[in-house]
Structure 1
Amino acid sequence: MNKPFPPPRMARKQTLRPEFLDAPTEARLARCWRDKGDIAARNRLVAAHQALAMAAASRAGGKGRKLDNDILQHANIGLLKAADRFDPDKGFRFSTYAAWWIRAEIQDYKIQGWSLVRLPNSAPSRKLFHNLKRVETRLVAAGEVPPEHLVDRIATELAVTPEQVVLMQQRLAAPDGSLNRPVGDDGGTTQLQDLIEDPDADVEKEVSACLGSRAFWIKMSTYLDRLSKREQEIIIQIYVSDTPKTLDALGQRFGVSRERIRQIREAALIRLRASFANSAVSIQHVRAGD
């Protein structure tokens, strides 16, 4: 049986190993770049530590994932920044200094790339962004913190305010989405942009003027019935009751945070406005038919 002919050794793909720099050589290259602007010395210093940037990019991309070229590029940017700022006279190695700059550059890229809305880039905000999920998961798994005190405990551990924790939770839980995304799973044509409130339109007044006061409240009662019991009570207590309740008071009543009451209120209002908008469209169609 014939065996396949192996390719010549010289034809096989060869991978160049990065140069190993000892401490004196590393310090000499750094001084040449700092004092003389020797680009060749800077490039040699950076190329010798290219594996450091690649390893950091691989860890940042997640275990088992393909290496992200964008993260790798930012890791290289961090490596170049480290070369520009490294002081060999401090007595420590370049790899120790560069690792911090590479990690910082990757973290900044991940924060700014998370959302179209620019996130705060202060040191506490970066710490909150990168550690929120880990701390929250650990506290929930331990079961030592009641749910209503979880936000306060996270804020204490990460040295931020509870409001900052809630805001970051909202941003991490709701990434950017298209306004053309269909709403519901029933195959309808309603899109998310159709439910966004028009600041120049007052749908409630328009429907009330068309139906009359009594008919308007009949419609309102019908649309409220489509909400959950908790949503109904929150809307009624805030907007209909003779003595409106505050978000804090309703939070204590339902055993949740003030921010959670606000979220429930906003979701209920979106559904009510969508119902009123459909009524306005129906009325316009009837008038057009007349």
Structure 2
Amino acid sequence: MSKRTSTAIVPAAASSLTLAVPAVGNLDAYISAVNRLPMLTAERESELARNFRERQDLDAARELVLSHLRLVVSVARQYLGYGLPHADLIQEGNIGLMKAVKRFDPERGVRLVSFALHWIKAEIHEYILKNWRMVKVATTKAQRKLFFNLRSMKTGSGTLSAGEVDAIARELNVREKDVVEMETRLSGKDLALEAQTDDGEEQYSPGAWLAAPQADPTQVIEARQRDRLQGEGLARALEALDPRSRRIIETRWLRDEAEGGTLTLHELAAEFGVSAERIRQIEAKALQKMKGQLASYV
């Protein structure tokens, strides 16, 4: 959707919906038009959602989408600082809205506006990541998290102080050097840092950068299982080992640089007065025993 083109939106890949907004002259007219569309009561929204889920009533889906177009406009406005056209941001957000309508379940007791918000943001995020060349170096989850939060967390327009870097790193659970690096990238957004083309561009799903991961039951269950495995399960598995085996596993696998780093087979062989091959055998047996202990936590 460009500034001067029709605002009819029919993204076939998003869903089976056919949404036709009357063509208008420009973006301002489009925004004015969607702001005049009536909002739905909770009762009407539930009725339409049930009609769509149970009978695939496309007219009901269309009304749900139309009544929330103003939400997309509002969300898209928050991302104007990335230098991308407002009209394009709105169109991507509209695709996210239609995906949300397709998946919306009125029986969960949540209004569509709340459910659709992260789907709208997810589509806009993906569009920015694919089209803003500076972001093509932000390939990890931590870097994407920094990219979409760093600007709002800065208290001023200048360079971050050491204290601000530390505070941001703690809040986002990332390394301080990642904060400094991302600030440098963002402040130099007019420079092309790499010559990467769109060929082979990595594809990201909306669940990868959801603003509220706790809203996804699958992620909640996986996170709980992972935490239990890493905490209680690992502790019990280590307790089941004899002192020598536990020492070998801890120093070979569980120590970080602050604790002196991991030890080699030869270093442990010298410590226990046996061959390196014997240490390897003890390690393999201990790992196998721990695997059995951890099986009940998976």
Q: Work out which structure has the larger RCO, using CA pairs closer than 8 Å and 6 or more positions apart in sequence.
A: 2
TM range (shorter): 0.3 to 0.5
Structure 1 length normalisation: TM-score? 0.46
